[in-house]
C-alpha cells in the first residue's frame, strides 16, 4: 500500500477534571463480575495524592512503573510475566504517566496476548493477536505517544517501536490538571518534543495537506505556550495537551527528521531521555531547520531553561561513531528530511560532526 491506512484512538475525553470520569468509562467495559483492571502508574506519583485518588475497586491491581530509564524490552517482559501471574487477563490496562508509561501500557496490552519476548515484536506489523483494552492518561504533554501507533522500546540491539494497529489506545483522557505540577524543565523538554515534531514534519519531503493542517496549528499553539509571556500557565497547559495530540497526528501522515535521528543515537548510546536529547540535537541544527532553531533558542531563554553544554568533549570517537551508526540507520527519517537521494547529501562523517558540536 502506497498510502498509510492508519488507525485513530477510538475515544478521547478532554478537559480539566475529566480524569474523574475514568471509573465510569472503564466500568462500561466490564463484562463479568470477576473482571478487573490493571493500573500502571508512573512511580513518581507513589505516595502522592494521584496514587491515593486512583479509582481502584475490588480485584483491580496497581503496578508502579519506574521510568528512570525509558522503557526497555526486559522491563516489558517482566511486566508481562507479572500480569500473567494474576491468572485471568485483565479487562483493561490504564496507563498514567508521561510518554514512557504511555508506551509501557501500549506495549503491555499486546504482549500479554502474544507469546514470547518483546524483542521479537520490535518493528512493523509483527504482532499477531489483538491487544487487550487500554486507556492512556498523560501526565506530561508533548510526545504525542497518546495518539501514535508506536510503543517505543529499547532492546539490547535497537531502540525501535512495536508498531501496528493494536498499539492504538482505545481511550485517552486528556486532563490538563494532571500536567500542572510537572517540573518546569521536564515540562519544557517534553513540550519541545511536540514543537520539534511539527518543525520536522512540516519541513520534509513527506509533508502534505494532512500533516500540514495539524502541524501548523500545533506549531502555533507551541508558540503561544512557550513564546508568549501573556499566556497563563493554565491556558498554556490546555494548549500543550492539544499541541501534543495534533503534533502526533501531523507525524502520522508525515515523518520526523534529522533531529530525531540524532536524538535516537544519543538515547541509545547514553540513555539520554527523548525530550532533552531532542533539545540537545535541535540546538545544533540551524543549518537544517533555520528559523525553527532560532525560535527554539528564544523559547529556551524565555523559559529559563539551560541546555547542557560541551558534552562531546567527554565522548570517545567510538561512542560518536556508534551514535552516528544508529542515526544513519534511520533511513526513513533521512529520506523525509533530504529526499530519496539523501545519501548524496549526508554521510556518516557529517553526522559525526553534528555530534561533535553538542
Ligand atoms: P517520561 O514519561 O519519560 O517521563 C520523564 C520524567 O518525568 C520521569 O522521571 C517521570 O517519572 C516524570 N514525570 C512524568 N509525569 C510527571 C508529572 N506530572 N510530574 C512530575 N514528574 C513527572 O517523559 P516524556 O517526555 O513524556 O516521554 C518520553 C518517552 O516517550 C520516551 O520513552 C520516548 O521514547 C517516548 N516517546 C514515544 C513516542 C511514541 O510515539 N510512542 C513519541 C515520542 C516519545
Ligand atoms: Zn519525539
The predicted pLDDT at position 158 comes to: 82
**pLDDT, tens only, 84-105:** 999 999 999 999 999 999 999 9
The predicted pLDDT at position 354 comes to: 98
Quick count: other Cβ atoms within 10 Å of Cβ 253?
20
Distance CA 197, CA 148 (A): 12
Atom 13 of ligand 1, nearest CA residue:
98
The predicted pLDDT at position 3 comes to: 85
Enclosing H/E stretch for 173? strand 171-174
Q: Which residues contact 297 (CB under 8 A, 6 or more apart)?
A: 283
- Cβ 100 under 6 angstroms from ligand 1: yes
String of DSSP letters for 262-301: HHHHHHHHH---HHHHHHHHHTT-HHHHHHHHHHHHHHHH
Among residues 265, 291, 293, which one has the least CA distance to residue 279?
293
Ligand at minimal distance from the CA of 181 is 1
The predicted pLDDT at position 159 comes to: 84
User: Cell triple for residue 98?
Assistant: 508521561
Does residue 5 have a pLDDT over 90?
no
Residues recorded for the chain? 358
Burial class (CB in 10 A: 0-12, 13-18, 19+), 63: middle
Q: Which residues contact 7 (CB under 8 A, 6 or more apart)?
A: 149, 165, 168
Atom 43 of ligand 1, nearest CA residue:
143
The predicted pLDDT at position 112 comes to: 98
- How confident is the prediction for the chain on average, in pLDDT? 96
Percent of all residues in the chain with a pLDDT value above 70, rounded to a whole number? 100
The predicted pLDDT at position 307 comes to: 96
Among residues 198, 259, 267, 262, which one has the least CA distance to residue 226?
198
The predicted pLDDT at position 294 comes to: 98
Ligand at minimal distance from the CA of 249 is 1
- Cβ 182 under 6 angstroms from ligand 1: yes
Does residue 106 have a pLDDT over 90?
yes
Mean pLDDT for 278-300 is: 98
Which atom belonging to ligand 1 lies closest to the Cα atom of 106? Answer: 41
Among residues 208, 323, 212, which one has the least CA distance to residue 261?
323
Give me ligand 1 centre to Cα 101, in Å.
7
Atom 30 of ligand 1, nearest CA residue:
99
**pLDDT, tens only, 243-286:** 999 999 999 889 999 999 999 999 999 999 999 999 999 999 99
Distance CA 300, CA 279 (A): 9
Mean pLDDT for 318-326 is: 97
Tell how strand 159-163 and strand 37-42 pair up: unpaired
Mean pLDDT for 43-72 is: 97
The predicted pLDDT at position 293 comes to: 98
Q: Quick one: CA dihedral 154, 158, 161, 162, positive or negative?
A: negative
Does residue 1 have a pLDDT over 80?
no
Work out the pLDDT band at 330, boundaries 50, 70, 90: very high
Which atom belonging to ligand 1 lies closest to the Cα atom of 193? Answer: 43
Q: Which residues contact 150 (CB under 8 A, 6 or more apart)?
A: 103, 161, 162, 163, 167
Work out the pLDDT band at 24, boundaries 50, 70, 90: very high
**pLDDT, tens only, 181-222:** 999 999 999 999 999 999 999 999 999 999 999 999 999 999
Task: Supply the DSSP symbol for 161.
Answer: E
- Spacing of C-alpha 120 from chain mean position: 21
CB 110 within 8 A of CB 73: no
**pLDDT, tens only, 216-250:** 999 999 999 999 999 999 999 999 999 999 999 99
Distance CA 194, CA 99 (A): 12
Give me ligand 1 centre to Cα 357, in Å.
26
Amino acid at each position: 500500500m502506497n498510502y498509510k491506512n492508519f488507525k485513530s484512538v477510538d475515544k478521547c475525553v478532554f478537559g480539566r477534571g475529566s480524569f474523574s470520569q475514568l471509573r465510569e468509562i472503564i466500568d462500561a467495559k466490564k463484562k463479568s463480575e470477576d473482571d478487573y483492571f490493571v493500573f500502571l502508574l508512573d512511580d513518581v506519583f507513589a505516595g502522592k495524592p494521584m496514587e491515593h485518588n486512583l479509582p481502584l475497586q475490588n480485584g483491580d491491581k496497581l503496578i508502579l512503573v519506574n521510568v528512570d530509564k525509558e522503557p526497555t524490552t526486559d522491563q516489558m517482559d517482566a511486566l508481562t510475566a507479572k500480569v500473567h501471574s494474576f491468572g485471568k487477563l485483565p479487562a483493561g490496562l490504564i496507563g498514567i504517566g508521561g510518554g514512557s508509561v504511555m508506551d509501557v501500557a501500549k506495549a503491555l496490552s499486546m504482549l500479554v496476548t502474544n507469546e514470547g519476548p518483546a524483542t521479537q515484536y520490535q518493528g512493523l506489523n509483527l504482532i499477531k493477536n489483538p491487544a487487550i483494552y487500554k486507556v492512556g492518561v498523560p501526565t506530561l504533554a508533548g510526545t504525542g505517544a497518546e495518539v501514535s501507533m508506536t510503543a517505543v522500546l529499547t532492546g539490547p540491539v535497537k531502540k525501535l517501536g512495536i508498531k501496528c494497529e493494536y498499539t492504538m489506545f482505545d481511550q485517552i483522557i486528556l486532563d490538563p490538571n494532571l500536567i500542572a505540577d510537572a517540573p518546569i524543565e521536564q515540562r519544557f523538554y517534553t513540550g519541545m518534543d511536540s514543537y520539534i515534531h511539527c518543525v520536522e514534519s512540516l519541513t520534509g519531503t513527506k509533508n502534505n495537506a494532512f500533516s500540514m493542517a495539524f502541524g501548523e496549528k500545533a506549531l502555533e499553539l507551541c508558540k503561544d505556550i512557550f513564546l508568549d509571556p501573556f499566556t497563563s500557565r493554565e491556558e498554556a497547559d490546555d494548549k500543550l495537551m492539544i499541541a501534543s495530540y495534533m503534533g502526533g497526528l501531523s507525524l502520522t501522515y508525515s515523518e520526523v527528521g534529522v533531529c530525531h535521528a540524532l536524538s535516537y543515537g544519543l538515547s541509545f548510546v547514553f540513555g539520554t531521555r527523548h525530550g532533552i536529547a531532542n533539545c540537545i540535537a535541535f540546538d545544533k541544527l540551524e543549518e537544517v531547520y533555520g528559523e525553527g532553531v532560532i525560535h527554539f533558542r528564544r523559547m529556551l531563554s524565555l523559559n529559563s531553561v539551560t541546555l547542557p553544554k560541551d558534552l562531546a568533549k567527554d565522548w570517545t570517537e567510538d561512542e560518536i561513531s556508534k551514535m552516528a551508526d544508529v542515526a544513519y540507520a534511520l533511513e526513513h527519517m533521512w529520506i523525509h528530511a533530504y529526499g530519496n537521494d539523501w545519501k548524496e547529501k549526508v554521510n556518516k562523517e557529517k553526522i559525526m560532526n553534528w555530534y561533535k558540536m553538542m
